């Protein structure tokens, strides 16, 4: 697992995507592949930082998916500064979202306390349950951050291909 301390941030772009009206910017950080001991499936993990256009850190994220297995969801762990909190604070909450690629696909919130990152105090102050994450102001911020990651992180190419294939088959 890549921790906040191990992530070396590299800006994805000096200029925002002109097609996306987002108040956020993505900066790419670490990535790695792990191999499951029991089934030998390979899991890709990509992490990054999301900032405002004025460089305030809004969130860290980790996306993990099983390579070559669109039947399994991609999991997004997002450690975000709550919208009601000054962005320069160190308070962060963890939300977890799963992205599905078969049938109708879609995204669903999960209990972040089940995430391997939930107990890492360098990542978050607390992990939100699904019910907490679905309440304002967390749900709107989490969805905005998910969209920012999905649109701007080029390492999610395999996931985008799965989504396009699901649309064609559906």
What local confidence, expressed as pLDDT, does residue 11 receive?
A: 37
Query: How confident is the model at residue 88, as a pLDDT?
Result: 55
Instruction: Give the other-Cβ count within 10 Å of 62's Cβ.
Output: 27
The tens-digit pLDDT sequence of the chain (170 residues) is: 333 333 333 333 334 444 445 788 999 999 999 998 889 999 999 999 999 888 888 899 999 999 999 999 999 999 998 776 665 556 889 999 999 998 777 899 999 999 989 999 889 999 999 999 999 889 999 999 999 999 999 999 999 999 888 888 76
Cβ pair 4, 121 in contact under 8 A: no
Could you report the per-residue pLDDT of 138-149, keeping only the tens digit for each? 999 999 999 999
Query: Contacts from 102-109 at CB under 8 Å and sequence distance 24+?
Result: 102/70, 102/71, 102/166, 103/166, 103/170, 104/170, 105/163, 105/166, 105/167, 105/170, 107/146, 109/133, 109/134, 109/139, 109/142
Record the tokens describing residue 46, joined without a space: 């990509």
Whether 83 and 140 have beta carbons less than 8 Å apart is answered as: yes
> Distance (Å, rounded) from C-alpha 36 to C-alpha 48?
23
93 Cα distance to chain centroid: 13
Q: Within 10 A of 169 (CB to CB), how many other CB atoms are there?
A: 8
How far is residue 90's CA from residue 86's CA, in Å, rounded to a whole number? 9
- What's the confidence (pLDDT) of residue 87? 55
Helix (H, G, I), strand (E, B) or coil at 79: strand
* Number of other residues whose CB lies within 10 A of the CB of residue 100: 18
Q: Look at the alpha carbons of 2, 131, 26, 148 in this order and tell me if their dihedral is positive or negative.
A: positive
């Amino acid at each position: 697992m890549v921790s906040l301390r191990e992530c070396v941030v590299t800006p994805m772009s000096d200029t925002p995507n002109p097609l996306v009206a987002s108040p956020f910017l993505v900066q790419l950080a670490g990535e790695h592949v792990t191999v499951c001991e029991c089934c030998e499936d390979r899991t890709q993990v990509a992490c990054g930082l999301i900032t405002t256009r004025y460089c305030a850190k809004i969130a860290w994220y980790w996306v993990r998916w099983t390579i070559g297995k669109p039947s399994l969801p991609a999991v997004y762990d997002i450690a975000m500064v709550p919208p009601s909190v000054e962005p320069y604070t160190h308070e962060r909450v963890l939300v977890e979202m799963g992205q599905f690629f078969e049938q109708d696909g879609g995204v669903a919130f999960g209990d972040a306390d089940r995430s391997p990152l939930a107990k890492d105090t360098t990542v978050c102050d607390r992990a939100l349950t699904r019910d907490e994450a679905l309440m304002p102001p967390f749900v709107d911020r989490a969805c905005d951050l998910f969209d920012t990651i999905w649109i701007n992180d080029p390492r999610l190419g395999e996931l985008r291909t799965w989504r396009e294939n699901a649309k064609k088959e559906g």
